[in-house]
């Protein structure tokens, strides 16, 4: 039984239960904070981190028309 549990834990993959990513086109006046507030519940700082990591952003500067991937 322990061997089966160990093997299951070892080979279990991502379930995909988080949902698909979506795209967001930046509008004039948008900030990472405002996008994170609209896209995620709770503390927007965690959402900002997710947006920065997923989009490989090196600064908080956004350009109108920029396309962002918004992870779930």
Tens of each residue's pLDDT in the chain, 72 residues? 666 555 566 565 544 456 788 999 999 999 999 999 999 999 999 999 999 999 999 999 999 999 999 998
Quote the pLDDT of residue 14: 47
Please give the sequence-ordered ranges of beta strands (E in DSSP) within the chain, or none if there are none. 22-25, 67-70
Integer-rounded Cα Rg, in Å, for the chain is 17
Quote the pLDDT of residue 72: 87
Q: Cα–Cα distance between 65 and 48 in angstroms, integer? A: 18
Q: Cα–Cα distance between 72 and 52 in angstroms, integer? A: 13
Angle between helices 44-55 and 32-39 (to 10 degrees): 110
- CA-to-CA dists, residue 10 to 4, 32, 57, angstroms: 10, 36, 32
């Amino acid at each position: 039984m322990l061997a089966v549990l160990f093997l299951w834990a070892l080979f279990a993959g991502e379930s995909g239960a988080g949902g698909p990513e979506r795209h967001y086109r930046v509008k004039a006046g948008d900030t990472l904070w405002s996008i994170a507030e609209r896209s995620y519940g709770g503390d927007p700082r965690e959402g900002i981190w997710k947006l920065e990591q997923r989009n490989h952003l090196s600064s908080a500067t956004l350009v109108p028309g920029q396309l962002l991937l918004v992870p779930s």
